[in-house]
Structure 1
Amino acid sequence: MTAVAGTRDGSDVPQEQSADGSTDQRRELAKANHVLVDQGILDGFGHVSVRSDEDPTTFLLARNLAPGLVQPQDVQVLTLDGDTDDPRKPYLERHIHAQIYRARPDVRAVVHSHSPAVIPFGVSSVPLRPILHMAGFLAPRVPVFEARDTMGAGSDLLVSSAESGVALAEALGDAAVVLMRGHGSTTVGGSLPEVVYRAIYTEVNARVQVEAERLGACTYLTDEEAAATVATNTPQIGRAWQYWQDRAV
């Protein structure tokens, strides 16, 4: 059955509940995977996780599987060291999630994606900046993680160790999104609906920014405008979340 529960990001979002009334995070995480595939943020690669409601020192993440195929039974429980008792193969880049959760107690959900419009901003001198009101969370900055600084000149760019996960979390700092040069991006949020919203609108903003800059000088959101849009939009995330779920069968 479905109930409306107030989330930590301040929005009212319909959440799946199990028979005993507890939030079924595995089912919601599977839906988040499907939404992100439907919206073109994930494809055969990338992943999304959520901090456990039962034990905040653990998080839920699917086993090593294409996101569009993830079902509730595919979800594993991992520690902040990236370890799991589940014998099935975990994602190589689980340390992205583990070390961000360790460094940021405020983060409840994480998305790592390779969405195409975002990648150019991680390899060029042009910063990704909020240009539309749905992406105010990009202010005041979107940092770029340089893998060479931690993993050397010959790495595969994957954040597949605790050390590289720590470095990524440090690059993220207190931002909502960190770009990963030549790789993709990682987005954080206060709930699964919020992080899905942010991952989608990071990609939308990147596309719009490229198109706008072709026309000439752009007017971006000020930090004050960005903060105001976040305050207005956050309580509305549940509306989009329900629509996206209905689309993603």
Structure 2
Amino acid sequence: MPEDAPEPGGTPAPGDQRRALAEANHILVDQGILDAFGHVSVRSAEDPGAFLLSRNLAPGLVQEDDVQRFTLDGRTDDPRPSYLELYIHAEVYRARPDVQAVVHSHSPAVIPFGVTATPLRPVLHMAGFLAPRVPVFDTRDTLGPASDLLIRSAESGAALAAALGPASVVLMRGHGSTAVGRSLEEAVYRAVYTEVNAHAQAEALRLGGCVYLTDEEAAATVATNTKQLPRAWGFWRDRAHRPA
């Protein structure tokens, strides 16, 4: 494993978290999960009641110095503009002590599963984390029929976190999805393979139907793939930083 890769199964050391978070942004852009929008955060290794998230910036442009530190009430001492939807991160961390990283994206293959009656389910062994179910959050239930679908407040962030529950991913109707992980590596992996699985599932449905992973198969694949997270991270990071 490269010397500067995050440690397997956990968040990087405090001094490395800002660099790793910048790398996570670049990986997710290169993998087509983030574009000019979306964001990724990591819980502070120094204080579990705080998290790190870039200032309001296109993910592909994020560098270490762009990272801000927030408390779980969404406050920061950094005067630079912050993402409007920072409460996605704050409230998920508040509700889920096991979560160490959060990715919010608008990856295109996922969107249809949040606006139709077809549930997103694992069809490939790299996406077993989608079992046993992927919930769908609808802002209309919290914000009414005239919102912009954004999570702008602690209240709407808490509602999203409640919809997520113990799952790894929650879909957001007409908006995108939020993936979580026990490490930055895992959250990035889950965001990538949620998109891959969504595309594969849609293609299989067009061919006539799907054979889905059983919950037992899904659990077994997660146990196997979790050990391979550094392999994926290292490859994706180096690919994202390759010369143009």
SS of the residue aligned with 1:131?
coil
CA positional deviation for 1:215? 1.2
> For residue 10 of structure 2, what is the aligned residue in structure 1?
8
SS at match of 1:49: strand
Whether 2:229 is the aligned partner of 1:229: answer no
Cα distance, 1:6 vs. partner? 4.1
The change in CA–CA distance for 1:138 and 1:88 in structure 2 (over 3 A counts) is: same
1:153 counterpart (142, 145, 159):
145
The separation in 2 between residues aligned to 1:53 and 1:99, in whole angstroms, is 18
Task: Report the alpha carbon displacement of residue 169 of structure 1 after superposing the two structures with TM.
Answer: 0.2
CA distance in 2, matches of 1:4, 1:91: 25
Q: Number of matched residues?
A: 239
* Gapped regions of structure 1 (runs ≥ 5): 10-14
**Structure 1 counterpart of 2:57:** 65
How far does residue 24 in structure 1 lie from its aligned partner after superposition? 1.1
TM-score (normalised: structure 1):
0.93
Distance 1:7 1:120 in 2: 31
Q: Which residue of 2 aligns with 1:215?
A: 207
Match of 2:238 in 1: 246
Question: Is contact 2:109-2:199 (8 Å) kept?
Answer: yes
Secondary structure (helix, strand or coil) at the match of 1:107 reads coil
1:95-137 deviation digits (Å, cap 9, x = unpaired): 0000000000000000000000000000000000000000000
Question: In structure 2, how many angstroms separate the alpha carbons of the residues matched to 1:237 and 1:218?
Answer: 27
Task: Name the SS for the 2:7 alignment partner.
Answer: strand
1:141-178 per-residue CA deviation (whole Å, 9 max, x = no partner) reads 00000100100100000001111000000000000000
Contact 2:42 2:100 in 1 (8 A): yes
Of residues 110, 117, 128 in structure 2, which corresponds to 1:125? Answer: 117
Q: Structure 2 CA distance, aligned partners of 1:31 and 1:4? A: 10
Question: Does the 8 A contact of 2:5 with 2:233 survive in 1?
Answer: no
- 1:163 corresponds to which residue? 155
Among 31, 37, 44, the alignment partner of 1:45 is 37
Aligned-partner Cα distance in 1 for 2:198–2:37 = 20
2:119 corresponds to which letter in structure 1?
P
Residue 5 of structure 2 contacts residue 234 of structure 2 at CA under 8 Å; is this kept in 1?
no
For the residues of structure 1 that align with 2:210 and 2:141, how far apart are their CA atoms? 32
TM-score of the superposed pair, with normalisation by structure 2: 0.95
Contact 2:8 2:227 in 1 (8 A): no
Query: Equivalent residue of 1:246, what SS?
Result: helix
Tell me the distance in 2 between the aligned counterparts of 1:23 and 1:240: 22
Instruction: Indicate the residue corresponding to 1:197 in structure 2.
Output: 189
| CA–CA separation in structure 1 for the residues paired with 2:96 and 2:80 | 27
Shift of 1:75: 0.1
**Secondary structure of 1:24 counterpart:** helix
Runs of 4+ in 1 over 4 A off after TM superposition: none
Partner of 1:220, secondary structure, is coil
Paired residue secondary structure (1:130): coil
Structure 2 unaligned spans of 5+: none
Write out per-residue CA displacement over residues 183-207 of structure 1, whole angstroms, 9 at most, x where no aligned residue.
0000000111111000000000000
How far does residue 4 in structure 1 lie from its aligned partner after superposition?
Answer: 6.7
2:227 aligns to what SS in structure 1?
A: helix
Cross-structure match for 2:100: 108
How far 1:77 sits from its partner (Å)? Answer: 0.2
Matching residue of 2:131:
139
Change (3 A) 1:3 1:35: closer
